[in-house]
Structure 1
Amino acid sequence: MLRLFSWLISCAILVMLTSCSDFDREFTVQSAKATIDVSADGTALVSESFDILVKEGENYGGVYVDIPQRFTDVAGSHWRDFDLITARWNGRDEHYFKENIVPGYAIYIGKWHCRNCPADLPAGPGKVEIAYRLGRLVRHEGDRQILSLPAYMGHVHDQGAKKAVTLTIPSGGMLRLSHRDPPAYEITQSAPNEILVSIAAGKGDRVLPDIEIEYPEGTFLGGTSDKLVRWWLSDHFLAFISILGPLIAGGFAVSRLASGRRLPAASKAIDTEMLGSISPALAAYLFRNWKADAAKAAFMASVAHLAVKRKFRISGLGEDAEASDLSAKQARGKRKITGARWYSLPAATRFVFERIEKEQPVVDRRRILYASYGVEGELHKTVLAEYQKIRGKDRWISRAVLSILVLGVAVAYFAGLLIFSAAICGLLLVSLAAVGVLREPERISSPMDFRQVLGMCLGLPGLMIISVCYIVTTEVLSEQLPYLVAILLDIAGILVVAAMLRVPTPKQRQIRDSVLSLDRYLRGGTDGPAMSVECYEHYLPFAVALDAEHYWTERFNFWQESEKMDAYAPDWRINS
C-alpha cells in the first residue's frame, strides 16, 4: 500500500506560525472542509476551506497551510506536481507567499508583518480558502492502476475540529477498505463517482491511512516521455544537490593533495632563475617553515641584500651591525636614472631599508638592531604577500567555494532550513572569530574606533545569542535531518576547500625545493655555480637567510687562497 510519509502530519495543516505568535491563543479552527476533483489524467483540483475564530484583535495577521507533495512507495520517494490557484480570506483574494518545507510547501495567507504592526486579522469568525492542483496521483500494480488520495485534514494544528472531504473520481473504481478497527474515518460512497469522507472531532495528532481506489489498466492516461523525465528529475533533484556539494569539496581536496604528491623529488641542481625571482626574506621564511623566528633571519638577509646592492654600507652581518652612507634616498629621487632599479628590489628588502632610514643616525651611523624592533608582523605580511603573488589567483578555489555555497543555499531553501542554516553559520563565524582573537591577540591590540568596539562587545555576542536561541527553539523534522547533514557537510566542504589555500601549489613547492638545494650548495654539499666575487655577493643574502653565512664565507676564502687573489675588501663594508 502506498504510504505518504509526508501526509502523516496532514495535507491541510495550520501549523505553528512562528516564535512571535501563539496560534492557540489567537485562533481556533472550528471546522475544515475539502473537495477533490480527480481528472481523467490522474491529476486533481483541490479546494479547501477552514472556519477560523480570531479570538484576539492583536494577532499574527495570517495563518499557514501546509501542502505536502512528497509520497513514498516501493520504488522510493516521489514528488507530486503542485500549482497554487488562489488564496482567500472571507471570500476576498488575500496576500500570500510560499515557503519551502521538506514535504512540499507552507502557504502563508494574510498580511506579512511582525507583532504590533497594523495588519492584524479582525476579531471574530473568518474563513480561509485555498485552491490548488495536484498531479501524479496514480501508480501501477501489475495490471491495475491505483488512485491514491491522501487522508486530508487528519490533523489541523492540534485542533479537534470536524473535517469533511468530498471526492469526485472517475467511474469504474473499487474502493479499498481500511483494516483498522475502529475505522479511522467514515467513508460513504453516495454515487459511482463520489465519495464522502467524514472525520469526527477528536484527538488532533491522528495518523490516517490513505484512500486507495483500484481501477483497470488504461483508465488513466499514462505520462508522456517529457513528463516521465520531469518526474524523474523532480524525484532526485534535492538528493542530487545534497550530495553534489560534499562531492565537489572532496574531489577538489583529493586532486590538490594528489597534485602535490606527484611532484618530482627535490632537484640537486641550483635553479638560478627561480631563486632570482624571490627575496632572501622569503627564503628565510620558507627554510624555517614560516615559524616566528624566521623574522630575524629575514630582516638580516634583507640588510645584506641592500648592502650588496650598494644601497648603504654596513659594519658587519651580526646584530650589532651599523649602517651608514644611505645614498639610496638621494638615488631614489632621480627616478629617471635609478627608480627602476630601486623598485626592482623585493618589497621586503625595500621595507627593511625604510625601517633603517627612519632611525636617527649617530655620526652618520644607524644601529641595525634598533631598526629591527617590532617589525615581525609587518615583515611577515610583506613576505606573505610575495609568496601569495607567486601562487597567483587561484580561481579554481574561488569557483569551488562558490559552487558549494550555491548548492548549500539551494538545499537549505528547498528543505525549509534556510534560516536554521544561517543561524548555524552565524554561530560558526562567531566561534571562528573568537578562536582567531585567542590565537592572534595582537590583531586587536591597536586602537579601535567606536563601531569596532560596538561590534566586538555587542554585535558578535548578540549574533551568537540569537543563533543559539533559534537553533534551540526550532524543531527539525525527521525528514529534514538528511538535508541538514548535507548542509553541514557543505559548510565543512567550504572550510576544507578554503584550507587548500595553505597547501602550496606546484610552483611554490618547487621554490621551496630550490631553497633547500641552495642550502646544500652554500654548505658545500652539492655542486652549483662556479665561485667568484660576483657569485659570493649574489648568494650572500641567501646564506644569511639560511644560517649558512659562515660556511659560504669559508668556501669563498678557500677559493681566494686557491686563486691567489688579493685580500677581498668590498665597497659595501665599513672599513674598521
Structure 2
Amino acid sequence: MPRLLSWLTPCAVLVLLTSCSDFDNEFAVQSANTTIEVSTDGTAFVSESFDILVKRAANYGGVYVDIPQRFTDASGGTHWRDFKLAAARRDGEDEYYSREHNVPGRSIYIGAEHCKSCSADLPTGLTKIQIAYWLGRLVRQEGDHEILFLPAYMGRVHGQAAKKTLTLKLPPGGTLRPAQQNRAAAYDLRRSAPNEILVSIPAGKGDRVLPDIEIEYPAGTFVTVTSGKRVQLWLSDHFLPFLSILGPLIVGLVAILKFRQSWLVPAPLITVDAKVTESISPALAAYLFRDWKADAAKAAFMASVCHLAVKRTLRISSLGEDAEASDLLAKQDRRKSKAGRAKWYDLPAATRLVFGGIAKEPSVGDRRRVKNARPDVRDELHRTITEEYQKIRGIDRWSLAAAASILVLGIAVASFSGLFLFSAAISGLLLTVFLVVAMFRHPERFPVATGTFEQFKQAMSLIVGLPMMAIVALVYIGTTEVISEQWPYLMAILLHIVGVIAVLAMLRIPTAKQRQIRNNMLVLNRYLRGEIDGPAMSVECYEHYLPFAVALDIEHRWTERFNLWQEGQKMDAYAPDWLITP
C-alpha cells in the first residue's frame, strides 16, 4: 500500500496519511492544531485535532496519523520515546482505530472499520479527527543544564493550504535557545503566556524542513532520572538496532561452535574402538569410508550380504559379485534365537533390508543371485543408511532453536520497522525461486500425483500458482516505497533471512560423534591391513570384522592375516557353516 504522506524531518514529525487511496481526490486538510503539555518529569501529553474535508462519497474511510517516537537531537543523538494512546475520536465520538509500527514511530489509523459486511466510506463534508497520547521523557542532560527538545510537528501535513498551530505548555524557567531564535523565520514563534509558547505554521511547500524547538532549563528543573530509568531509556533508544544485530550475532556464534571441532587438531587414534563396530552397520561403514560417494553403494550392499552370512541368516557361495545365497531363514525362523545366530531385530536396518531384497528374488532350486537384488534395494538402502547416520547425530536442538530465534528476531525487526509485508514479499519470492530450483535439481523429492484431478491440481500449482506468487511479490516490492530510515533495517532483515538459511545448512556439518565414527573407520582400515595393533585374532574376531573388511574393500588382506594366524596356531582348516561348499 503506497504511503501518500511521509515524515517531516529525520528527527520527529507528524504526518497525516492514508493508505490504498487517492488522498488528494478523497480528502483535504483544512486545519491542524496541536497542544503539547510538558510535565516536570519530562514527559509530554499531546492532543491533536485535524479538520478534514471529505470530498468523495466513495473513499477509503479513514486516515492515518503518524506519531513520532524516534527523535534526533541537535548533537546527533538518536532517542526513542515511549508512546501510549489516550484517545482516538472522530467528530467528538470514540472511533475505531488500529496501530502499525514504523521506524520513526507508530501509525494510527482512525476511521471506519474495514470488513466485508460494512461500508468503510466516511460521509462527505467536514469531519474532525482527534487523537491524544503520551510521549516519554523529552529531556536530555547537557553539562549543568537540562534541555527540553520538542520535535518540529506538522511541517508537511498533506494539504498545503491548511493552517497549522501548536501550543506548547511548559514548566517555568525555560529559555528558548538562541540558535532557534535566529531561525525564527521558519515559523512564527511567540509567548502567549509566561509558560506557554504559540507556534504558527503558515501554508507553504510540503518539502520544507522546520527546526526543532529546544528550551534550556537550569539543572534540577525536571525530576532526576534514576540509574534504573536511565538504563531503561538507553535500552529503548537502542532496542531496534539491538534486535537488528542480534540475529547475525547468533549466526556467528553457531558458526564458531560448529566449526570449532575442525579448528581443533584431534588426538591421533592409534587403536580400534570395538564398540563403534558394534553400534553401526557395515553398510554405513562403506559410505563413511568413501565420503558418501556413488561407488559406496555396491560396497554397502556386499558388506550387508556378508553380515547376513556371518550372522547365520543365510549362506553364500563367495564374497564376490557373482555370489549366490541359499538357506534363507523363513519369517517364523527369524523370531527364534538359536545358538550362533543373531536375533533378527538385533541386525541393523540396512542389513535386514538387503535380506528382504534377496528373499524377493526368484530362486533356482534353493539358490538366488545376490547381485540381482542390488538395483531393487539401492535407493531404499541409501535412505536407510542416511537415517542411521542421522540417528547417530541425534536431533540438533540447539541449532534448530538458533534458527527459530533468528526467524523470530527477523519477524520482530520487520514488524517494528514497518517492513513486515515487504519482508514477507521478499521471503515469498525467495521461496518460489528455491522451489523451482529444487524441482529441477531433485525431482525425485517431490511426490508425483496419481489421479487425474490430482495431476491437474499439481499442474495448476506449477503453471499458475508459483508464477502468480512471484508476480504478486515483485509488484508489491516494486510499488512500495522504503523510506531512508528503513533501509538499514531492511538490510538487517535480509541478513536474518540469510542467517536462517546458513544455520539450517550447518545442520549438515558432522557432529563430534559422527566425526569420531568416521575416524574410527580410518583406523579400522589400518588395523585390518595389519598396520597397527588391535583386538587379538580369533575365529570370532575374524567373522566380526569380515563385513567391515568387505565394506572397506580389503577382505582379501583381512583373510590373509587370518590364514597366517591359523597357520601359526596350527589349527584345522577353517570351514564356516555360513559358506556354501562346492
- TM-score, normalised relative to structure 2: 0.90
Q: 1:180 to 1:352 in 2, by over 3 A?
A: farther
Question: Which residue is equivalent to 2:437?
Answer: 435
* Cross-structure match for 1:92: 93
CA distance in 1, matches of 2:249, 2:491: 14
Aligned to 2:4: none
Which segment is superposed worse, 351-360 or 150-159?
150-159
Query: Does the C-alpha gap of structure 1 residues 78 and 182 become closer, same or farther in structure 2, counting only changes over 3 Å?
Result: closer
**Does the aligned pair in 2 maintain the 1:148–1:212 contact within 8 Å?**
yes
Deviates more, 1:500-509 or 1:73-82: 73-82
Matched, 1:107 2:108: yes
2:168 and 2:341 mapped to 1: Cα distance? 88
Map of 1:546 onto structure 2: 552
After superposition, the Cα gap between the structure-2 partners of 1:168 and 1:339, relative to the gap in structure 1 and judged at 3 Å, is: farther
Matches within 5 A, 1:147-186: 147-157=148-158, 159-176=160-177, 178=180, 183-186=185-188
SS of 1:183's equivalent in the other structure is helix
Query: Residue 535 and residue 214 in structure 1: after superposition, are their counterparts in 2 closer, same or farther (change >3 A)?
Result: closer
Q: How many Å apart are 1:180 and its aligned residue?
A: 6.8
For 1:99 and 1:336, how far apart are their aligned partners in 2?
73
Mark the CA change 1:412 to 1:133 in structure 2 (over 3 Å): closer, same or farther: same
Helix, strand or coil at the partner of 2:516: helix
- Aligned match of 1:517: 523
In structure 2, the residue matched to 1:303 is 305
Quote the offset at 1:333 in angstroms.
4.8
SS of equivalent to 2:521: helix
Single out whichever of 560-569 and 414-423 deviates more from structure 2: 560-569
Amino acid at match of 1:479: E
Residue 263 and residue 385 in structure 1: after superposition, are their counterparts in 2 closer, same or farther (change >3 A)?
A: farther
User: Where do 1:447-458 residues align within 5 Å?
Assistant: 447=449, 449-450=454-455, 452-458=458-464
User: What SS does structure 1 have at the residue aligned with 2:65?
Assistant: strand
Runs of 4+ deviating beyond 6 Å: 179-182, 335-340
In the alignment, is the contact (CA less than 8 A) between 1:10 and 1:153 conserved in 2? no
Report the alpha carbon displacement of residue 104 of structure 1 after superposing the two structures with TM: 1.2
Cα distance between partner residues in 2 of 1:497 and 1:90:
53
> For 2:238, what is the secondary structure of its paired residue?
helix
Aligned position for 2:510 = 504
Q: Which residue in the other structure is 2:147 paired with?
A: 146
In the alignment, residue 13 of structure 1 is paired with which amino acid? V
Structure 1, unpaired ranges of 5+: none
Say whether the 8 Å CA contact 2:8–2:154 is kept in structure 1: no
Asked if 2 retains the 8 angstrom alpha-carbon contact of 1:6 and 1:71, the reply is no
Residue-by-residue CA offset, 1:440-490 (whole Å, 9 max, x unaligned): 222237446455555444443333333222222222222222222222222
> Aligned partners of 2:203 and 2:340: how far apart in 1?
94
On the 8 A contact 1:311/1:328 being kept in 2, the answer is no
**DSSP-derived class of the 1:297 partner:** helix
Check if 1:530 corresponds to 2:536: yes
**1:221, distance to aligned residue in structure 2 (A):** 2.8
Match of 1:268 in 2: 270
Task: Measure how far apart 1:226 and its partner are.
Answer: 3.8
Which ranges in structure 2 are unaligned for 5 or more consecutive residues? 1-6
Instruction: Identify the match of residue 324 of structure 1 among 323, 326, 330.
Output: 326
Identity %: 63
**CA distance in structure 2 between the partners assigned to 1:107 and 1:337 by the alignment:** 80
- Distance between the aligned counterparts of 2:239 and 2:8, measured in 1? 17
For residues 169-208 of structure 1, the aligned pairs below 5 Å read 169-176=170-177, 178=180, 183-208=185-210
Q: Deviations over 1:111-137 (max 9, x none)?
A: 343799622222332221101122322
Structure 2 letter corresponding to 1:216: P
Distance 1:368 1:446 in 2: 31
Q: Summarize the alignment of residues 222-241 of structure 1 with structure 2, pairs less than 5 Å apart.
A: 222-241=224-243
User: In the alignment, residue 423 of structure 2 is paired with which amino acid?
Assistant: S
Structure 1 counterpart SS, 2:17: coil
For the 8 Å contact 2:10–2:72, the answer to whether it is kept is: no
Of stretches 376-385 and 456-465 in structure 1, the one that deviates more from structure 2 is: 456-465
> Residue 218 of structure 1 aligns to a residue in which SS?
coil
Q: SS in structure 1 opposite 2:137?
A: coil
For the pair 1:417 / 2:423, whether they are aligned, the reply is no
Amino acid at match of 1:166: T
Indicate the residue corresponding to 1:55 in structure 2. 55
Identify if the C-alpha distance between structure 1 residues 145 and 565 changes in structure 2 by more than 3 Å, giving closer, same or farther. closer
Q: How many residues align?
A: 570
TM-score by length of 1: 0.91
- CA RMSD in angstroms comes to 2.7
Quick check: 1:314–1:572 contact (8 Å CA) kept in 2?
Answer: yes
- What is the CA distance between 1:423 and its match in structure 2? 2.2
Supply the distance in 2 between the matched residues of 1:138 and 1:254 (Cα, whole angstroms): 42
